[in-house]
Amino acid sequence: MPQGQADEISPAQLRAARAWLGLTQAELALRAGVGRGVIAEYERGSRLAHPSSLTSLKSALEELGIRFLFEDRRGVGLKAS
């Protein structure tokens, strides 16, 4: 999936979802099977994450009840289900 697809979570959504669930970067990294550094750098906006990493992160958070909201091909929010 190329960067900028409608189902790509934004750095702000990732930070907010983690905070909502009370997860550390390390805890989410373990659940999603990605490196903690990938999360830290993506959340800071200092790195683009590989599409497969974003898919893994999104899936892990959705399994915990988070639903991501998108508008005009960009992530705009989230809600708990």
CATH number, position 16? 1.10.260.40
Q: Is the Cβ–Cβ distance between 14 and 40 less than 8 Å?
A: no
The Cα–Cα gap between 28 and 59 comes to 11
The Cα–Cα gap between 63 and 6 comes to 19
Residue 55 lies in a domain: yes
Residue 76 lies in a domain: no
The Cα–Cα gap between 16 and 37 comes to 17
Model pTM score: 0.80
Return the SS3 of 46: coil
Residue 4 lies in a domain: no
Query: pLDDT tens for residues 13-69?
Result: 999 999 999 999 999 999 999 999 999 999 999 999 999 999 999 999 999 999 887
Residue 27 lies in a domain: yes
What is the pLDDT at residue 7? 65
Kindly tell me if the per-residue pLDDT of 76 is higher than 80.
no
Q: Tell me the residue range of the domain where 63 lies.
A: 11-70
State the total domains in the chain. 1
Residue 6 lies in a domain: no
Residue 39 lies in a domain: yes
